[in-house]
Amino acid sequence: MTLPGSPFLAYQGADLFLDDVPLRDLVKQHGSPLYVYSRRAMLAALAPYQRALQGRAHLVCYAVKANSNLAVLQTFAKAGCGFDIVSEGELARVLAAGGEAGKVVFSGVGKTRREMRLALEAGVRCFNVESTAELEVLSQVASEIGRTARVSLRVNPDVDAGTHPYISTGLKGNKFGVAHEVALATYRRAASLPGIEVVGIDCHIGSQITEVSPYLDALDRVLDLVEAIEAEGIRIHHLDLGGGLGITYTDEVPPAADVLIGQLLAKIDARGHGHREIVFEPGRSLVGNAGVLLTEVMFLKPGEQKNFCVVDAAMNDLMRPALYEAYMSIVNTQQPDGATEVWDVVGPVCESGDWLGRDRALNVQAGDVLAVLSAGAYGMTMASNYNTRGRAAELMVDGNQVWVVREREAVADLFKLEMLLPV
Ligand SMILES: *Cc1c(COP(=O)(O)O)cnc(C)c1O
């Protein structure tokens, strides 16, 4: 049986291993549900980015929102990465994990004044500004504290990334970025404002992109703008081409990162922009296939129309299926002999939308441990406490080593910030 995604995940005999660790044993030791990530798999996913960019000024800024566990951030910081953040909280995590503020780019349509000030004081490398209104406020905040905000405008190239509407961000109807038509005027405004220094341009057209062509189209649009901006005497130092590269959840065949980057660099060079620093902001493609969510089967509930396999992980642990109807592969961590049946794998939360997989051919029994694959990105970071369920523990493995990198949330943690009324 071949598994989608990671070469670090494979059956040895009947048992599913991540690196050299049998996954079922981890649940016996650490309980269920449980997120497990492979450090090797993360570094292996980073390698083609670094390889393709070698020999030119570049920065790979890992998009923290994909998986913000401190040990994950530490892994990428040690590997030389910068970070793409979208909040004060993510900045604090990056610093706590040993990341450098000078390698941080700050994205997002709704940065608060407080977040701007904290990021300026920390010395982030660049603000990816998404509107004129934000630019004006950033100029005020920077001037007030006597700092200069280095900025890049996130331009909306109006290309269709060919992905799910909720994760497509580069079309006109999206809330993100400055429309292509007004970008030049916004750059002029930026160049005139106190406390603002223009340093780059960026775009991020969506997520789970499995084709090269939308990137190439967006790049052409961005380079057109760069040429128009520089014709007015405003210097653009770096090109930030965002993140968004897809992964294999089932049978998608996204381009390898080095192939994608090779094609982008060829266009950049061909159009005479080869001297610019190149920034990428990958999230999913660095961590998605490096992680699994393990969950124990509680009850089998065969029915007339549907067979339900009730597991102890739910939409609060892993929201992607409920939110995007995302398909995530589900396998048994102990491949049993015998026939499979078709099951809907569902959680205990009181919502019909609480399912992890529909119509899955599985050979399962109560007490088995299932692995939801490709759960390293947008899994734990989207987890909630809905139904007053504590969030799962997280483990990191490397070879045969295993570290707990986040403890399971206890029930007492869940309402410790609440209080009863005095009367
Ligand atoms: C989410 C996001 C990313 C990362 O996207 P992936 O699809 O996870 O690679 C990069 N840049 C920005 C601005 C984002 O919002």
Please indicate whether residue 6 or residue 323 has the higher confidence score (pLDDT).
323
Q: What is the predicted pLDDT for the residue at 1?
A: 59
Cα atoms in the 13 Å half-sphere on the side-chain side of 382: 16
Q: Ligand 1 mean position to 350 CA, how many Å?
A: 31
Q: Give CA–CA dist 411/120, Å, rounded.
A: 37
Q: Name residues whose C-beta falls within 8 Å of residue 285's C-beta, 6 or more positions apart in sequence.
A: 45, 243, 245, 246, 247, 254, 257
Tokens describing residue 324: 């995007």
| pLDDT, tens digit, 9 for 90 and up, residues 252-291 | 999 999 999 999 999 999 999 999 999 999 999 999 999 9
Q: Is 172 exposed, middle or buried (0-12, 13-18, 19+ CB in 10 A)?
A: exposed
Pocket of ligand 1 (CB under 6 A): 63, 65-66, 84, 107, 204, 207, 242-245, 281-285
Residue 124: HSE in the Cβ half-sphere, 13 Å Cα cutoff: 30
Pairing of the two strands 277-280 and 58-63: parallel
Peptide bond connecting 302 to the previous residue in cis, omega within 30 degrees of 0: no
In ligand 1, the atom with minimum distance to the C-alpha of 209 is 7
User: Which two structure tokens, joined as six digits, stand for 258?
Assistant: 């080095």
Is residue 329 a contact partner of residue 4, using CB atoms and an 8 Å limit?
A: yes
Around Cβ 235, how many Cβ atoms within 10 Å?
11
CA–CA gap between residue 164 and residue 324 (Å, rounded): 8
pTM, rounded to two decimals: 0.96
For 306-338, what is each residue's pLDDT tens digit?
Answer: 999 999 999 999 999 999 999 999 999 998 788
350 is catalytic: yes
What is the average pLDDT across 19-38? 98
Spacing, Cα 204 to ligand 1 middle (Å): 7
**DSSP labels for 209-231?**
B--SHHHHHHHHHHHHHHHHHHH
